[in-house]
Structure 1
Amino acid sequence: MLACLLSGEETDVHELAAKTGLSQSTVFRSVDQLLQVPNLLHRRVAREGGRGRPTTKVMLNRRYSVLVGVVLDSAVSRFILTDVLGRAWGERKLTTPPALTAAELADWVVTETRDLVAELGEGSPLGALAVGVPGALTPDQEQVVGSHNLPIIGGPDFIDRIRRTMHVPVRFENDSHAALLGELSFGAVSASGVVVLVTMSTGVSAAIAVEGEILVGSTGSLGEFGRLTLTADGLRVEDLLSEAGLNKHLRARGHPIDDSVGLAAAVEEDPRIRRQMDDAFDHLIAIIALAYEPHTILVTGGFSALFPENRLASVARRVEDQVLVRTDIRRADLGDDSALLGAISLASAARFAEFGLTDQQLAALPPATLAPVAPSGAPVTATSARPPMPVDAP
């Protein structure tokens, strides 16, 4: 029933009973219980058409609490604040402070989160925080087990520090998994069947969802396809399909590259590199197609710009000819915002877990329900590299 209220629309007991399939008496009891939660619901007594018995109308109070989603990166990290319905109130892009310990980086995340809530939360309390991290997590999400992009978060200290200093529910997720959750919750892709999201950025990884549920392996390494070896001399998928890997590979061939524009130019100047990249991508997609038979493979990340739509269509045809699996390969609907919106979906699930709302119920909500819309003007964006403030951990 709470999932229905997350639409943000005013409703009554009769409508809730029709939508949920529950009896009206059960809905009456549930609404009464929710009305006991301070500030959760707005309540209004209305007399339809001015005649007949009055009807109690209820709707979720969007100021009940705010949510914060974070996508952590070694260079620039992103923070977004939304109301409890997932509508954006503000966003910040912040330069990630370099050379910090795990505890110092955790304190920086906590400080920036609290400042964002204080400045843009309009007095609403923080309800939950979710952090997308560039690395694999253990199945219990208590520690990061591998992060080439940001190695200082490896181990339990970073996660433990944030959990102990934030007095609200906190969720952590691999950033690729968060991106796929964002696409399922906010994008146009169907959650039915199998959907795979391939992220090509500083590294290469994939997230897999079956009937809306994201798969997690026993070690947290499921989908880390960038580690696959392609040639006898040890060339890996991530050496050809990630920015960091290809930069290193090109430097070894006498092409020093400093930015993505230069990287694209170097690729076009060297037909051999272009062929290697295309072969590596074909190989990766063929493995994913055979392993999961997805109806859709979404591609995202800054490096994926080197594979425009016409190339993706060609890959789909070649893979179908090779392994006899038909799949739609296209760019992710939300682009670089996928992981940030996925973090908000996770924060919403964390906030309402006490009421029995599941991740799957949130993902099944219509995209318009959670579409991030700034209530007044454009999202607030700031760039800073403030040092972290020490945070007292109980």
Structure 2
Amino acid sequence: MESSSARHFNRAAVLDAVFAEAGVTRAGISGRTGLSPATVSRVVEDLIAEGLLDEGQQIPRTGRGRRSTFLTLGRGVGCVVGIDLGATTCRLRCNDLMGEELRTLRRPTPRGLEVPALVDWLAESVTTVMAESGTSRPLIGIVVAVPATVRDAAIVVRPARQLAQTEGAELGHRLGRALGVPVLLDNDSNLALVGEMATGAAVGCTDAVILTTSTDFDAGVAVNGEILRGRTGIVGEFATLPTGDEQPLRRLLSVDGILDTAAEQGVALADFTDLFDSAPEGPLGTLRRGFVHGLTLATSVATLAYDPQVIVVQGRLQPLVEQVLPELRERLSHVLPAVPELRPSALGGFAGATGAAFVAVQAARTALKDLGSFESWLSPQGTPLDGAGDARAEATGPTDTVA
């Protein structure tokens, strides 16, 4: 008689094979997993009875025996949404559990909304991206990237000033109630790094750092394929590092910091994109040189602390980063014993939403294999925010210019 542990192992192995290959057959599952054809057939029939698998297209018979059919996820197996709630732009990505992108959505983040109104707006955005995807699959969970430290996958700490009202646990709690699904929160740089490791500029890397040069400055760190958070969740908060003039690093490497510095110095900087000129002179040149100095400091600290294979740079200032990369590499070659690969984001503004959707897919798959349902599938411990460095690219995310 099959033990409960054996049943659990066999069930997980069969589902893993289905997730790995769209339209796999019973024979294909047996070959992939090493399970006997009889065991595979028994598990498959149980999963079909539960509604987790469906029989698909029949394969023309080439010999004796039962006609083979492709197996697909059951029509009732739902989909997930990853949200990147940025200070200026919100991006959403809807995925099915095969990891395929169904739809993306990009909207300006509304300003000045208190949490109840912001949650209503987010819930409407999720409903919109689901409707536009054309899927009939139910929503089963959401992962939200926020520009803040996040504790216990639920509590927002020190958010960006444009989203200061999100501090605390109200955002995730209200959004979960509004949509009737589990909601997990994490830092936006952490999730952007997951996205880049899964299907972007850091594919194949287990040790990587991402620098977010956007409205604020932040970083995410992965070592041995796992996102590092630390005891209090502050790993990667390089923005507070003092520079040579005792100003925090965010003053050099964030849009808000650069605009604030320009205003204090009386520099006529109508828009931060003025710094994208190939060789600005005068005060603009000083601000640009400060940016390069800040990048040199941030990449040096990240390299010496974590020895990453690659450092990915993303955010609204990414075009400027791409311009100064040759100079940055030259500077680092003189101050570091080994210089990691320096790469612009391959996913653009959708890196965070891609990582959030990836995490949601992995969490839902784990729950499906372990629990047979999606209840409480997003718990603070054991969520697959980690291991993205070992993941294969499942669906290439959209690339856009960061707004």
Give the TM bin, normalised by the shorter chain.
0.7 to 0.9
Aligned to 1:197: 210
Q: How does 1:52-91 map to 2 (within 5 A)?
A: 52-61=65-74, 64-91=77-104
SS in 2 for 1:199: strand
| CA displacement at 1:355 relative to structure 2 | 2.2
Deviates more, 1:18-27 or 1:176-185: 18-27
The match for 2:396 is 371
- Contact preservation (8 Å) 1:86, 1:371: no
Q: In structure 2, do the counterparts of structure 1 residues 41 and 213 end up closer, same or farther at CA, with 3 Å as the change threshold?
A: farther
Cross-structure match for 2:263: 251
Secondary structure of 1:352's match? helix
CA contact (8 A) 1:247 1:263 kept: no
Work out whether residues 79 and 138 of structure 2, in 8 Å CA contact, stay in contact via their aligned partners in 1. yes
Q: Cα distance 1:172–1:248, how it changes in 2: closer, same or farther (>3 A)?
A: same
* One of 241, 244, 267 as aligned partner of 1:228: 241
Do the aligned partners of 1:200 and 1:301 also contact (CA within 8 Å) in 2? yes
Q: Residue 180 of structure 1 contacts residue 339 of structure 1 at CA under 8 Å; is this kept in 2?
A: yes
Q: Which SS does the other structure have where 1:15 is aligned?
A: helix
Q: 1:308 aligns with which of 322, 325, 329?
A: 322
State percent identity of aligned pairs.
28
- Give 1:74-223 correspondences, 5 Å limit: 74-138=87-151, 140-148=152-160, 149-187=162-200, 189-223=202-236
* Residue of structure 2 equivalent to 1:12: 25
User: By how many angstroms is 1:29 displaced?
Assistant: 4.1
Aligned length: 370
Of the three residues 232, 246, 252, the one matched with 1:240 is 252
Is the 8 Å Cα contact of residues 170 and 350 (structure 1) preserved in structure 2?
no
For the residues of structure 1 that align with 2:163 and 2:22, how far apart are their CA atoms? 42
Partners in 2 of 1:165 and 1:306 — Cα distance?
40
TM-score, normalising length: structure 2: 0.82
Q: Which amino acid aligns with 1:226?
A: A
Asked whether the 8 Å contact 1:128–1:350 carries over to 2, the reply is: no
Structure 2 SS opposite 1:11: coil
Q: 1:57, CA displacement in angstroms?
A: 3.4
Label 1:174 to 1:41 Cα distance change in 2 as closer, same or farther (>3 A): farther
Deviation at 1:47, TM superposition (A): 5.8
Q: Output the CA distance in 2 between the equivalents of 1:187 and 1:19.
A: 27
Structure 1 residues 185 and 61: CA distance shift in structure 2, 3 A:
farther
| CA gap 1:189/1:18 in 2 versus in 1, 3 angstroms | farther
Amino acid in the other structure paired with 1:142: A
User: Residues 307 and 75 (structure 1 numbering): CA distance in 2 closer, same or farther, change over 3 Å?
Assistant: closer
> Structure 2: which amino acid aligns with 1:371?
T
Q: How much has 1:241 moved relative to structure 2?
A: 0.9
Residue 260 (str. 1) matches residue 272 (str. 2) = yes
Aligned counterpart in structure 1 of residue 300 of structure 2, from 263, 281, 286:
286
Does the 8 Å contact 1:184/1:191 carry over to 2? yes
**Does 1:298 find its partner at 2:323?**
no
Q: Gaps spanning 5+ residues in structure 2: where? A: 1-12, 371-382
Residue deviations 1:96-136, cap 9 Å, x none? Answer: 22222222212221232124324544432112222111111
Q: Is the contact made by 1:130 and 1:171 (CA closer than 8 Å) also made in structure 2?
A: yes
SS of the residue corresponding to residue 307 of structure 1 reads helix
User: What is aligned with 1:391?
Assistant: none
Distance 2:317 2:333 in 1: 24
Deviation at 1:289, TM superposition (A): 0.5
Q: Give the Cα separation in 2 of the matches to 1:261 and 1:122.
A: 39
Q: Once the 2 structures are TM-superposed, how far is the Cα of residue 88 of structure 1 from its aligned partner?
A: 3.0
CA RMSD of aligned residues (A): 2.8
Letter in 2 for 1:298: V
Relative to structure 1, the CA distance from residue 188 to residue 62 in structure 2 (aligned partners, 3 Å threshold; closer, same or farther) is farther
- C-alpha contact (below 8 Å) 2:213/2:313 kept by paired residues: yes
User: Which letter maps to 1:80?
Assistant: R
Per the TM alignment, residue 250 of structure 1 is displaced from its structure 2 partner at its CA by 1.2
Determine the structure 2 residue equivalent to 1:376: none
Q: Which runs of 5+ in 1 are unaligned?
A: 374-378, 380-394
- Following superposition, the deviation at residue 163 of structure 1 comes to 2.3
Q: Comparing 349-358 with 70-79, which one deviates more in the overlay? A: 349-358
Deviation at 1:152, TM superposition (A): 0.8
Deviations 1:344-367 (A, max 9, x none): 112212322312487357764432
Q: Secondary structure at the match of 1:287?
A: helix
2:115–2:170 CA contact under 8 A, matched in 1: yes
Are 2:83 and 2:92, in contact at CA under 8 Å, matched by a contact in 1? yes
- Cα distance in 1 for residues equivalent to 2:209 and 2:113: 34
Structure-2 residue corresponding to 1:392: none
TM-score under structure 1 length normalisation: 0.84
CA distance in 2: counterparts of 1:322 and 1:21, whole angstroms: 52
Q: Which amino acid aligns with 2:260?
A: K
Question: Matched residue of 1:51: which SS?
Answer: coil
**Cα deviation digits, residues 27-72 of structure 1 (max 9, x gap):** 4443233223325433456464143444453133577323222111
Distance in 1 (alpha carbons) for counterparts of 2:350 and 2:149: 20
